Amino acid sequence: MKMAMKDGKIMLIEVDNTQMAIIKSWNSMKYDRRKSMVIGDCSKELLDKLSKIVRLPPAIESYRQQLDETQRAVDKMRVEKEPEALVKYPVQGSLYEHQVRAANMALLTFGLADPKEVLK
């Protein structure tokens, strides 16, 4: 199986019958007859599933690890007792803890904050 990632899509070619049956059971990828490839939206869940049946190319594996690191940072921020703001938020009053937590998780999710800072 050959794999590529472009514009937020994962594309697979030369998929054997066993792999195709497994991929079809996930219902997250579609077969394109014109291009004779399987195409699906690139998500952490899809990359995790693909990594269990084949070895991912280095670029895609590093992207999967980056998504995993972001997810761990968001999960850690979610359970933080007294979260500290990652940046100074432009508000007049002070934010409640749940508001700071939500703003920090949004920054992490959209890639505006480094997950490594949270995972220290």
Q: What is the pLDDT of residues 34-61, one digit of tens each?
A: 999 999 999 999 999 999 999 999 999 9
Q: Give φ, ψ of 26 to 5 degrees.
A: -80, -25
Q: Give the span between the Cα atoms of 108 and 94, in whole angstroms.
A: 21
* Mean pLDDT, rounded, for 87-100: 95
User: Tokens standing for 117?
Assistant: 């800072």
pLDDT of 120 over the 90 cut: no
Task: Name, in order, each residue with C-beta under 8 angstroms of 69's C-beta and a sequence gap of 6 or more.
Answer: 115, 116, 119
Q: Give the span between the Cα atoms of 83 and 100, in whole angstroms.
A: 7
Residue ranges per structural domain of the chain: 1-56, 69-120
Q: Give the span between the Cα atoms of 5 and 7, in whole angstroms.
A: 7
Contact assessment for residue 119 and residue 92, using Cβ atoms and an 8 Å cutoff? no
pLDDT for the residue numbered 10:
97
Q: For residue range 3-35, list pLDDT tens digits in order.
A: 999 999 999 999 999 999 999 999 999 999 999
Residue in this structure with the two tokens 């997250």, named with its chain if needed: 28
Q: Give the span between the Cα atoms of 106 and 99, in whole angstroms.
A: 11
